[in-house]
Amino acid sequence: MRHGEVIARYTEGEEIKCVLKNKKHTKGFIVELEDFRMVTSNDTINFLSILKLDTRKHNPIDVRKGVGGALFLGGILYLGVDQLNGALGYGKSGFDQSDWIAVVASGVGAAMLFIRPKYRRLKPGTIIRAIDHRSPFYLQASNVFEGDQKR
């Protein structure tokens, strides 16, 4: 978590790739998650010793968020509407200067969305938490429904 936002979620049985603070690259399958460390198929890793995490498969890309998504979708929509207007006879057909600007904007938006670094550095303010049925932070589904009914 970083500033209340979940960066990535890992569960037991999933593969994890990370770089430790001693610059050692490690990967393995998560066997057990504990409060302050995890046991993988290759090693036991303390959460405080992790410098970077590979979050590419655990944090899906959301096209609707951010400047990259706005540029990407805006450029594509502009091109589509402009070409439709040209085909219907409401404007001149073909590519003009504004169409090339839309192509460039879509390309920049696509680069912002789809080109991401392999590892995400855990900056100050990032918290790694293991939440399972033994954790004090675990919230059972039955308690959630009971709380909703009392309101």
> Is there a single domain that holds both residue 99 and residue 124?
no
Please state whether 88 falls in left (phi above 0), alpha (psi between -120 and 50) or beta. Answer: alpha
Q: Are strands 50-53 and 37-40 parallel, antiparallel or unpaired?
A: unpaired
Number of structural domains found in the chain: 2
- Whether residue 99 is found in the same domain as residue 123: no
Give the pTM. 0.57
| Residue 137 forms part of a structural domain | yes
105 and 73 share one domain? yes
User: Which residues fall within 8 angstroms of residue 137, CB to CB, at 6 or more apart?
Assistant: 129, 131
110 shares a domain with 70:
yes
* Residues 110 and 124 reside in one and the same domain: no
Within a domain: 105:
yes
Q: Per residue of the chain (151 residues), what is the pLDDT tens digit?
A: 677 667 777 888 889 999 999 999 999 999 988 878 899 998 899 988 999 988 777 665 555 568 888 899 999 999 999 889 888 888 777 788 888 999 999 999 988 888 877 788 888 878 787 676 665 555 554 444 344 444 4
* pLDDT recorded at residue 61: 55
Residue pair 38/44 in contact (Cβ under 8 Å)? The answer is yes
Residue 85 domain-assigned (yes or no): yes
pLDDT at 89: 83
Answer yes or no: is 1 within a domain.
no
Q: Which domain holds residue 98?
A: 66-114
